[in-house]
Structure 1
Amino acid sequence: MNELQREFTAFINNMDVRLGAFVLADLPETFETEDGETVKFPKDFGPKSLPMLELFVLSKFPSTEAILEAEHRRFFEGLIRYLGETYLRAIGGVWDHDETTGNGMPFIRPDTEQGPAAGEPIPLVAIVLTAVDQRSAEVFTAVLDKARELLGGDGQPRRKCTGLSLGMLTAENSSEEEVEFLTRFIGTVEPGIAAWTQEQADPASWGFDRDSLARLGKQISARYDSPADMMDEEETPFTAGAMRFIGETIRRIAVGQWRYGTELEKDDPRHHQPYVRFLIGDQNLDLVPWRLIQAALEDSEAIASALDAVIEMRENEAAEAAEKSESAAENNSDEG
């Protein structure tokens, strides 16, 4: 996997947290229109949010030079995420990337009447820069209108919503402290793991897979005699990297979301700890990497076994869904 592919993978994997943080922290609750009226700012990824979003961007940045300044990179990336996800919901398509389109940043490859993802790329970076340069507050919507025309027929998407941010953080399911922490922490996961693996024996052999988790469990069991040993200041680089590696590996394989424990009792394992949440049916399953590291002291298979448990629950959930679907089909057949 080359560097561009790694960056794109990180962009997609971090969509829920980064996009949620952008919506909660960077977009206002209300906005004052040009005629002085204060209105509620729509943050629902709907087409009607685009004019207001563009007006807000224009109010923040007087020129393309301003929005491209390094200090605004996080906002710019969040804006691209929001814009892309809004287009996906309205017209269908997929996130994509290459070395030339969209200044090397992820872009949308939209659906058309020819088929899924059959359209010309929608370069989100160029669209934002054009909007800031033209200052008409009509660019975001004009791009969507053109894409709808290419869908043919009534301009409606041919398939169900293709947006990615299904587990996105919201004001209802998170706190300001959690959003602030995750906004910082998520950006350290990929580079932290990369630096950590380079310090391990045979760096290239470490992958986001079960075998690596099992090997790490054995390494921790051999390296430490007690939890106190691993809390030594000299061990911080190893344990911090291992924690990120465990959480990110299980999150990717079993499809989870990084969270952070705020507003919890001190005896809760998630208290002030980054953890990974999995939605199984209508229940949450939370795994705390720091606790898994400690568990490996007693059982070197504890980390890999945690992954096995989540996968088994996922498989049971899928089997139950399939059984319900078959049962419903049989009932419909009997009624017919």
Structure 2
Amino acid sequence: MDSADQQFAWLIRLSDRLDHLDDVLTRDEGQSLDFSAESLGVLERYLHGRYGDQESIDADEEAEWIVEGAAAYTGELLMRLAGGRWDQETEPATWRVPPIHADPALKLPAVAPLELALTAARGGGPALTRSYTEWNVVVGEKRLAEPSWEPVKQPTIGVDPPTVEASESAYLADWLAAQERAFPAWADRFGTAAGWDFSRESLVALGALVLRVLPGPDAFRDPANLPFREVAAWYGGETMRRSAGGHWKYRHGDPETTPFAGWPYLRRRLDDGAFGQPYLAIQLGVDWRDPDLLVQQYDLYIQ
């Protein structure tokens, strides 16, 4: 998996890691993640108290979720202070979490939130609050020199509230209507025997059908196959939505470089909850020759 794929995978699981960490801290400490500077101290004390050394981290089945959650939280909090984005590079650490870059105007070096979280968990001192303090000093100096300056943060899907353009809403409405109109003819062409009844079992048939119609990445990208894959993605998403609720979403962008952009996707609830990505499941199913990814996506969505 290359660095762009690693970044994509991280941004997909980031909000789940944050939610899990928030649940754990609320349960164990009676604390909630509020994105305040003081919350980093709470998080450091929790990590140190739970672990204290690498051996304890290795022995904890929840460690990946908790430490990655701490990395996600630290990165997002630093970027709320100083702007910036998650990068495509990967760290030489136990898990693959990309570093963050502050707003370029600050000329700060990249920071690896996972290494900060691991340092705190191993008992290596207040790595989280130290980094926040260092960035805060630079931000303060920048504001003093340029009072009108404001940091720019690249929105993180599932964490930052999305800014929906009118054209995005219009595109989604048109797309949904077009696929619903095309579905009866699509179902007739590709076999009513498959039982296109929006059931989980029908996604097994759809996964196999996708690999027959789209035998490889070139076929997936072939404009001639666009009508097939559009309805297939719509059907996969509708099967999820009709089973567990949710809303279709859409954001402009290139799906090859930006998670959740360029293809319609689902969200279980408006502000939080599981994502459903039928289009991505189809693309990866074609790339990996795996007919089961749609069913797996369904199972994750309805949990």
TM-score, normalisation: structure 1? 0.49
Q: CA deviation at 1:139?
A: 2.1
Task: Tell me, yes or no, if structure 1 residue 225 matches structure 2 residue 192.
Answer: yes
Q: Which AA in structure 2 matches 1:22? A: H
Give yes or no for contact 1:276–1:287 (8 Å, CA) kept in 2.
Answer: yes
**Which residue is 2:99 aligned to?**
107
Deviation at 1:132, TM superposition (A): 2.3
Find the residue that maps to 2:34 and give its secondary structure: coil
Deviations 1:57-81 (A, max 9, x none): 1222131232245722122222211
Tell me, which stretches of 5 or more residues in structure 2 are unaligned? 161-174, 211-228, 252-264, 269-274, 280-303
1:173-252 aligned at under 5 Å gives the runs 221-225=188-192, 228=195, 235-239=202-206
Shift of the 232–22 alpha-carbon distance from structure 1 to 2, 3 Å rule, reads: closer
Deviation, 1:140, is 1.0
Q: Which residue of 2 aligns with 1:128?
A: 117
Aligned to 1:173: none
Matched-pair contact (CA < 8 Å) for 2:6–2:90: no
- SS in structure 2 of the partner of residue 134 of structure 1: coil
Partner of 1:142: 130
Which residue identity is paired with 2:26?
P
- In 2: Cα distance, 1:42 partner to 1:29 partner: 9
Secondary structure at the counterpart of residue 105 of structure 1 = coil
CA contact (8 A) 1:19 1:165 kept: no
Q: Which is greater in Rg?
A: 1
Q: Which amino acid aligns with 1:83?
A: T
Is the aligned partner of 1:64 residue 2:54? yes
Equivalent residue letter for 2:9: A
Judge conservation of contact 1:108–1:123 (CA < 8 Å) in 2.
Answer: yes
**Structure 1 gap segments, 5+ residues each:** 32-39, 170-209, 251-257, 262-268, 280-284, 294-336
Distance 1:81 1:94, change over 3 A: same
Asked if 2 retains the 8 angstrom alpha-carbon contact of 1:80 and 1:125, the reply is yes
Q: 1:151 maps to what in 2?
A: 139
Contact 1:22 1:75 in 2 (8 A): yes
User: Does residue 81 of the first structure (1) align with residue 64 of the second (2)?
Assistant: no
Distance 1:240 1:86, change over 3 A: farther
Query: By how many angstroms is 1:26 displaced?
Result: 2.7
The TM-score with structure 2 as length reference comes to 0.53
- More strand by proportion, 1 or 2? 1
> Deviations for 1:299-322, whole angstroms, at most 9, x for unmatched residues?
xxxxxxxxxxxxxxxxxxxxxxxx
* Root mean square deviation of aligned Cα: 4.9
1:83 offset after TM fit, Å?
Answer: 1.1
Identity across matched positions, percent? 15
